[in-house]
Amino acid sequence: MLDCALPVYQLTQDQQSKLSPRGFWRVDKNKDPELRHTVLTLVALHDLEEQIRDCGGDRDKGIEAFLNLNDAEGWILPETLRLADYGLDHDERAKEHQPVASQVGPRFYDWQLTQTAEESWRECHLHARNLLGEAGYQQLLSEIGSGEKARELKVAEPVPDYQLRSPDPGQPKLF
């Protein structure tokens, strides 16, 4: 598992042949380790486990505390990350704080901040409808009891993904 934090320069063709062909090191292998999804997932898991420990081992209270981090926003990408703090150090660089959040980009784009809650929910329903198809979408709505809300949002026809993208090509949507 720790191979996922190997520095880019250590993931040469020769080195890759020595690693598990199914290993998590393959995900985002061209990115610096602190920017890889696998590494950030391990960091988030570490922080969740820390919250559970801080709650005396009570898993439910720990999860609740984790979800209430950052003024109830939950866990967010750290500004900086030192891989050595998480046992993910493979070189000297891992012992220094490396920028994360600023390298990934803004948490929200301007269009997301100006979008109303109803517009945001409508977009969520559109994505669900496009991903699941009509039958799957209707089943999901019945399972969560949101059929009435979906009718209010007038989600009936699938919308091609290209229509859901931001009107500003310089600011693509995150989903």
- Ranges of each domain in the chain: 2-104, 110-164
Which amino acid is residue 28, in one-letter code? Answer: D
Phi then psi for 80, rounded to 5 degrees? -135, 165
Residue 138 makes CB contacts below 8 A (sequence gap 6+) with 147
Q: What is the pLDDT along the chain (175 residues), one digit of tens a residue?
A: 567 777 777 777 777 777 777 777 778 888 988 998 999 999 999 999 999 999 999 999 999 999 999 999 999 999 999 999 998 887 888 899 999 999 988 988 898 899 898 998 898 999 999 999 999 999 988 888 855 555 555 554 555 544 444 455 555 444 4
Using an 8 Å Cβ cutoff, are 120 and 153 in contact? no
Q: What is the pTM of this model?
A: 0.66
Which amino acid is residue 4, in one-letter code? Answer: C
Distance CA 135, CA 116 (A): 28
Which amino acid is residue 64, in one-letter code? Answer: E
Distance CA 114, CA 78 (A): 24
**Segment holding 23, helix H or strand E:** none
